Amino acid sequence: MSSIGFIGLGNMGGGMAANLVKAGHAVTAFDLSEAALARAEAAGCTRAASAADAVTGVSIVVTMLPAGKHVRAVYGEQLLGAVGPDTLLIDCSTIDVASARAVIEQAAEHGLAMVDAPVSGGIAAANGGTLTFMVGGEDAAFARAEPILQAMGKAVIHAGAAGAGQAAKIVNNMLLGATMVATCEAFALAEKLGLDLQTFFDISSKASGQSWSMTSYCPVPGVGPETPADRDYEGGFANALMLKDLKLAVEAAHGVDASVPMGAAAESLYQALVNSGAGAKDFSSMIRFLKGAAA
Ligand code: NAD
Nearest CA to ligand 1 atom 16: 32
Q: What is the pLDDT of residues 151-163, one digit of tens each?
A: 999 999 999 999 9
Mean pLDDT, rounded, for 106-121: 96
Q: How far is the CA of 204 from the centre of ligand 1 (A)?
A: 36
Residues 158, 142 contacting (CB under 8 angstroms): yes
Q: Is the pLDDT assigned to residue 293 strictly greater than 80?
A: no
Q: What is the DSSP string of 142-201?
A: HHHHHHHHHTTEEEEEEEESTTHHHHHHHHHHHHHHHHHHHHHHHHHHHHHTT--HHHHH
Mean pLDDT, rounded, for 82-107: 96
Q: Please indicate whether residue 75, judged by its CB atom, sits closer than 6 Å to ligand 1.
A: no
Q: What is the pLDDT of residues 203-260, one digit of tens each?
A: 999 999 999 999 999 999 999 999 999 999 998 899 999 999 999 999 999 999 999 9
Q: What does the pLDDT read at residue 178? A: 98
Which ligand 1 atom lies nearest to the CA of residue 73?
Answer: 18
Q: Please indicate whether residue 247, judged by its CB atom, sits closer than 6 Å to ligand 1.
A: no
Residues 33, 57 contacting (CB under 8 angstroms): no
Four-residue CA torsion sign, 106, 249, 8, 122:
negative
Residue 113: what residue type?
A: A
In the chain, domain spans = 3-161, 167-290
Catalytic site positions: 169
Q: What is the pLDDT of residues 24-43, one digit of tens each?
A: 999 999 999 999 999 999 99
Cα–Cα distances in angstroms (integers) from residue 275 to residues 41, 222, 243, 292, in the given order: 36, 27, 11, 14
Q: What is the pLDDT of residues 270-292, one digit of tens each?
A: 999 999 999 999 999 999 999 98
167-290: which CATH topology?
N-(1-d-carboxylethyl)-l-norvaline Dehydrogenase; domain 2 (1.10.1040)
Q: How far is the CA of 10 from the centre of ligand 1 (A)?
A: 5
Tell me how far apart the alpha carbons of residues 147 and 156 are, in angstroms, rounded to a whole number. 9
Confidence of residue 123 (pLDDT cuts 50, 70, 90): confident
Q: Please indicate whether residue 237, judged by its CB atom, sits closer than 6 Å to ligand 1.
A: yes
Which ligand 1 atom lies nearest to the CA of residue 36?
Answer: 9
Cα–Cα distances in angstroms (integers) from residue 159 to residues 165, 284, 293, in the given order: 6, 28, 40
- Checking DSSP bridges between strand 119-120 and strand 131-136, what pairing results, if any? antiparallel
Q: What is the CA radius of gyration of the chain?
A: 20
**H-helix or E-strand containing 62?**
strand 60-63
The one-character DSSP state at 59 is: S
Average model confidence (pLDDT) for the chain? 96
The fraction of the chain above a pLDDT of 70, given in percent, is 99
- The CATH code of the domain at 3-161 is 3.40.50.720
User: Which own/partner contact pairs does 188-196 have at CB distance under 8 Å and 24+ positions apart?
Assistant: 188/287, 188/290, 188/291, 191/291
Q: What does the pLDDT read at residue 295? A: 47
Q: What is the pLDDT of residues 161-179, one digit of tens each?
A: 999 999 999 999 999 999 9
Q: Is the pLDDT assigned to residue 188 strictly greater than 60?
A: yes
Q: Please indicate whether residue 64, judged by its CB atom, sits closer than 6 Å to ligand 1.
A: yes
Q: What is the pLDDT of residues 62-79, one digit of tens each?
A: 999 999 999 999 999 999
> Do 3-161 and 167-290 fold alike per CATH?
no
Q: Please indicate whether residue 50, judged by its CB atom, sits closer than 6 Å to ligand 1.
A: no
Four-residue CA torsion sign, 280, 246, 17, 235:
positive
Which ligand 1 atom lies nearest to the CA of residue 120?
Answer: 43
Residues 136, 162 contacting (CB under 8 angstroms): yes
The total of other beta-carbon atoms located within 10 Å of residue 215's CB is 15
